[in-house]
Structure 1
Amino acid sequence: MDIVWIGLAFFLGLLLNRVHIPPLVGYLLAGIGLSFTGYEPGILLHEIAHLGVIFLLFTVGLHISLKNILQKEVLGVGLIHLMISAGIFIPVGLYFGLSTEAAVIVAITLGFSSTVLAAKGLETRNELSSYYGRLSIGILIVQDLVAIGIIAYAGGGVPSPWAVILLGLPLLRPLLSRLLYIVERDELLLLMALSLAMGGDALFEAVNLSGELGALVMGMLFVNDEKADQLEKKIWGIKEAFLVGFFLEIGLGGFPDTSGFYFVGVLLLLLPLKAVLFYGLFVAFKLRSRTSFLSTVTLTAYSEFTLIAGAVAASAGIIPGEVIVILGLLTAVSYVINSVLVRYEDVLWQRTSSLLRRFERDVKHPDHQPVSLGAAQYLVIGMGLTGQAALKMFNQENQAAVGIDINPDRVKQILDEGYRVLYADAQDALFWEELDMQKVKTILIAMSGDIYTKEFIVEQLRRKKYRGTIRVLTQNEREGERILKAGGTPVSVPAVQMGEKLAKMSLEEQD
């Protein structure tokens, strides 16, 4: 009967995805729906749920680099937010009858934000490498490490004396890295990723340590390895599919009782406070209001790690099992709220920016943006392959040109090559309002991303009364029509031009 939960999860996940709600909510609802039918999950669902968590933690481990964590903005905001939010949530847990130990664990996990939602959202918007994207991911990694600590505390026991052998795992990194480079075929890369994640789980459990911690450590062995991304890409689909089992298993706990619904309601009322706290801390650490706002929106949700750490604590008898049902419903509703916030974040920013900017500190910001382009006559937005090629061509022709990009590492790399590039968020309306670009004759929008972002930039430039040419890279005729309507000049992507060229060559041969 396993086809029942697979089919229902697919149907509800697809349905909610069509209305821009994360499919994970559908998986939880599928589990809740099946609980009312008396459906009893088999051992297969439990094993799939466990492996989903193991694969998730392995991929988290691949990103835990000290460079991403050891920044005052990341550590400061991440840890202070967890401490303050725990102080808020502990009395709530005690009020609803939790023991002190259970209240502390639940309170800490309620301070977490969703790694899955944030990573997927940033990837979809092509902003994983942006300043605010990396800041958000850094804070999530700090939270994930705290979650692993809770899992180790709740799920471990007295480690075996043989556990000391695990201290030698870093010595295997050169060998494993070499093996990774030898492996070339896709299916072997996938098998290697699965073997590492499951092997770490089994190895740590063999010495009476948390298997989840083992999967994380195995991932950490490949931090900063050039082929680590390939490991993540190969295991990504299986991880996502197996996590369906985890959310289904949580949902099968059903709905909470009346007291549980009150608990969920109180925690949902505290979600805006969690967001306000994030924004206040970002501003306190000298970040611009726009960066603070975007990071806050990204992090405003409860986390799947609340469920994962809570489930381990429940299995150890530390917290009551019914609390996991409450946390599951809470997480699902917060996902819906976050999906709405992310979808309309630009509209929300436009309506609240005047208020939010009042709290911005009058200091030099780590994410400082330029207010002048100097003598530049050409501006290239987006430093991907197309943007870099355009900027370099302008320089070869001895033309005054400047590029902007939202990825600080890419900006530094191109600066080191001798070209003029500035860090800036082209989606920030305030940036365009304040930017002095009197000498700019032509603007090239060569950035990747959806057409709505490019359309927004063109509209901001025309609203600023910019009269020069705005050329925009487009994918098809529909996008070209939108750009024309906004006031820009669409330019077909090379693939379209190549196709037209091939067709013309073929026709010429017939003649």
Structure 2
Amino acid sequence: MDIFSQIGLGIIAAAVLATLGSFVRQPAILGYILAGVFLGPTVFGVIQDPELVNTVSHIGIMLLLFLIGLEMGVDKLRDMGLVSIAAGVGQVLFTGVIGLGIALSLGFPFIQSMYIAVALTFSSTVIAIKIMSEKQELGSLHGQISIGILIIQDLLAIVALLILGGFGAGSFHFDPSVFGLLFLKGAGLALAAALLSKFVMSSLFRRIAGSNELLILCAIAWCFLVAIVGKKIGFSMEIGAFIAGVSLANIPYAAEISSKTRIIRDFFVTIFFVALGASLIFQDISSLFIPFLVFSLFVLIGNPLIIMLIMRVLKYDVRTGLLTGLNMANISEFSLIVIALGASLGHIDQTITALIAFICVGTMTISSYMITFGEQMYRFLKPYLTPFEVQQQRAHNFQSKAGHIVIFGYGDSGREIALNLLRRGVQVVVVDHNNAVFKLMQKEGVPCVFGSVEDEETLNLLALEGARMVISTLPHPDDMHFVLAYLRRLQKKPPVFVTAQSGKAGLGFFNSGADYVVVKPHVGAKLLLEAAKDLLPPENLGHPKNVSLAGDRDIDYARFVEQISGLRLKELQ
């Protein structure tokens, strides 16, 4: 069968299986690999030459690294923070060392053990971001830390690919002079790309920015140019593509190039994983069962434990540590890329490739549910997580006095509320479990308590029975329900004002004892419509038509919450 038909059938099978997988909340990559397995020589034999398909598919990996480099702007690297760097580097080191020890103890040769250890260290950025986005947790503390750790892992994966690319085919001998020369070549290529980007490409993109077609074409051409030059001087084309992306990361058109190029990248990345699945050999698969089980359990359980230990050292609460750790409970697309590179260099055989692919499929499948049900897992495991708990720091410049206002959360809204009240001479105390935010509050002179709202000792510090009111901007409904349950047990419960992300969540807060709820999306929409109504045609200013829409139910909840909030506020006044 010709290559066009092989690729075409691979794309069709990948689309079908990825769609079926989405119905049970599985990542698309699993469907791509399974499509390759079914079409490969082991099952139906449609893809008879996986290497030929794999050659085409490497364009996708090249574009993947180009886009990763394109997103590595100075601002993004600056905003990662110490915790992400410490946790990311620490996790890779600990996972790598322990993984190496496990592989050697299972009888794998040193070179194969090194590749296995490296593959186990990287977690899937795609899965973590996709599920956190669905759960609206990207802006949460554990979401921000997780993204930072994943960026660090991506950078270290690039370093791993760079180092592995320095070894010759069939050789694993470390020659300092070879690697020193390779480093100088890489620095020279990066410097040349940066200078050309600043003085030539920026001017070119500015002139052609009005044409999306030319903008994307020239960006991809730049990617290929640097990749080809990189290959000529001894790098892999993927590393050259990464350097090309980094060189364009700070131009004004980087975001547009990234968004437009993703479609092309995704097409070729799909072919890569189909080809990977087709190349898997299932002979003597029974010999891989024990290593598969051991390594999978290490990734699913060991990685979260490693992250939790690091987060404990960094003074973060156990809940943040666990939820961050669950996002690392799988291995990454980069793991497969590293293994594919090792196989192409002759360092490892298809048995190791198959083992890592099975671990990837297994951990991605299970971790998808672990991340989705992270809060439920935390509540179930909480009694057993005491070794990871951090001794809470006590209040800073806060002395209990009747009539104070307690604010939960020092995010954008919480900070503005706290500073506004302090300017009016009102006594406030703010509770937050983000160590960096706690230091910010100390610097700004805001009375504060560092601790988790799910820790009753933290709540006991706040003298809530004597508080004038409680204001919460907490992003997680479960946190607020815990606080409301605590407040219901007090002899004198203060009025409680909270924000909610949906009408349904707001109604749940009322049922749990909140007095006033602001549904943020609803209030924001009302203000925007009120501001824009003068620009609407007169015929559209009457009452809305009685048309049923899919989102009406939550809007009805939000309106009801707004009405009973107004009534309750009158009672409090």
TM-score (structure 2 length as normaliser): 0.71
The 2-side partners of 1:421 and 1:232 are apart by 43
Which residue identity lines up with residue 464 of structure 1 in the other structure? Y
The 2-side partners of 1:232 and 1:370 are apart by 45
Kindly state the Cα deviation for residue 310 of structure 1 after the two structures are TM-superposed.
Answer: 0.6
RMSD: 4.4
Which residue identity lines up with residue 23 of structure 1 in the other structure? A
Q: Gapped runs of 5+ residues in structure 2? A: 169-177, 545-573
Which residue identity lines up with residue 24 of structure 2 in the other structure? V
Residue in structure 1 matched with residue 61 of structure 2 by the alignment: 53
Matched, 1:87 2:100: yes
Residue in structure 2 matched with residue 174 of structure 1 by the alignment: 198
Kindly state the Cα deviation for residue 313 of structure 1 after the two structures are TM-superposed.
Answer: 0.9
1:480-510: CA deviation from partner (whole Å, max 9, x where unpaired)? 544444444353333256558959972289x
Kindly state the Cα deviation for residue 286 of structure 1 after the two structures are TM-superposed.
Answer: 4.4
Relative to structure 1, is the Cα distance of residues 490 and 139 closer, same or farther in structure 2, using a 3 angstrom cutoff? closer
Conserved 8 A contact 1:391-1:403: yes
Which residue identity lines up with residue 116 of structure 1 in the other structure? V
Relative to structure 1, is the Cα distance of residues 237 and 420 closer, same or farther in structure 2, using a 3 angstrom cutoff? farther
Matched, 1:12 2:17: yes
Residue in structure 2 matched with residue 461 of structure 1 by the alignment: 483
Which residue identity lines up with residue 200 of structure 1 in the other structure? V
The 2-side partners of 1:223 and 1:127 are apart by 26
Residue in structure 1 matched with residue 46 of structure 2 by the alignment: 39
Within a 5 Å distance, the mapping from 1:352-501 to structure 2 comes to 352-360=381-389, 362=391, 376-377=404-405, 379=407, 381=409, 383-384=411-412, 433=459, 436=462, 438=464, 440-443=467-470, 453-454=476-477, 456-465=478-487, 467=493, 468-475=495-502, 478-488=504-514, 489-491=517-519, 492-496=522-526
The 2-side partners of 1:189 and 1:446 are apart by 42
Conserved 8 A contact 1:408-1:423: no
The 2-side partners of 1:58 and 1:104 are apart by 26
Residue in structure 2 matched with residue 260 of structure 1 by the alignment: 288
Instruction: Tell me the secondary structure at the aligned position of residue 472 of structure 1.
Output: strand
Residue in structure 2 matched with residue 316 of structure 1 by the alignment: 345
Conserved 8 A contact 1:130-1:406: no
Within a 5 Å distance, the mapping from 1:182-331 to structure 2 comes to 183=209, 190-191=216-217, 193-221=219-247, 228-254=254-280, 256=282, 257-271=285-299, 272-331=301-360
Structure 1 stretch displaced more, 426-435 or 260-269: 426-435
Relative to structure 1, is the Cα distance of residues 481 and 250 closer, same or farther in structure 2, using a 3 angstrom cutoff? same
Matched, 1:506 2:541: yes
Kindly state the Cα deviation for residue 17 of structure 1 after the two structures are TM-superposed.
Answer: 2.4
The 2-side partners of 1:423 and 1:229 are apart by 39
Conserved 8 A contact 1:370-1:435: no
Instruction: Tell me the secondary structure at the aligned position of residue 499 of structure 2.
Output: strand
Structure 1 stretch displaced more, 120-129 or 267-276: 120-129
Instruction: Tell me the secondary structure at the aligned position of residue 379 of structure 1.
Output: strand
The 2-side partners of 1:125 and 1:343 are apart by 8
Aligned pair count? 496
Kindly state the Cα deviation for residue 108 of structure 1 after the two structures are TM-superposed.
Answer: 2.4
Instruction: Tell me the secondary structure at the aligned position of residue 340 of structure 1.
Output: helix
Conserved 8 A contact 2:223-2:245: yes
Relative to structure 1, is the Cα distance of residues 339 and 4 closer, same or farther in structure 2, using a 3 angstrom cutoff? same
Choose which of 123, 136, 139 in structure 2 pairs with 1:113: 123
The 1-side partners of 2:216 and 2:467 are apart by 49
Relative to structure 1, is the Cα distance of residues 146 and 505 closer, same or farther in structure 2, using a 3 angstrom cutoff? closer
Structure 1 stretch displaced more, 318-327 or 391-400: 391-400
1:241-281: CA deviation from partner (whole Å, max 9, x where unpaired)? 43222222222234632223343223223332344334334
Residue in structure 2 matched with residue 147 of structure 1 by the alignment: 157
Residue in structure 1 matched with residue 564 of structure 2 by the alignment: none
Kindly state the Cα deviation for residue 285 of structure 1 after the two structures are TM-superposed.
Answer: 4.8
Residue in structure 1 matched with residue 558 of structure 2 by the alignment: none
The 1-side partners of 2:26 and 2:89 are apart by 31
Conserved 8 A contact 1:473-1:493: no
Q: Greater CA radius of gyration, 1 or 2?
A: 2
Relative to structure 1, is the Cα distance of residues 484 and 162 closer, same or farther in structure 2, using a 3 angstrom cutoff? closer
Kindly state the Cα deviation for residue 356 of structure 1 after the two structures are TM-superposed.
Answer: 1.8
Which residue identity lines up with residue 37 of structure 2 in the other structure? I
Which residue identity lines up with residue 486 of structure 2 in the other structure? K
Conserved 8 A contact 1:30-1:248: yes
Kindly state the Cα deviation for residue 300 of structure 1 after the two structures are TM-superposed.
Answer: 1.6
Structure 1 stretch displaced more, 212-221 or 167-176: 167-176
Relative to structure 1, is the Cα distance of residues 354 and 324 closer, same or farther in structure 2, using a 3 angstrom cutoff? same
Structure 1 stretch displaced more, 241-250 or 71-80: 71-80
Q: Percent identity?
A: 22
Instruction: Tell me the secondary structure at the aligned position of residue 487 of structure 2.
Output: coil
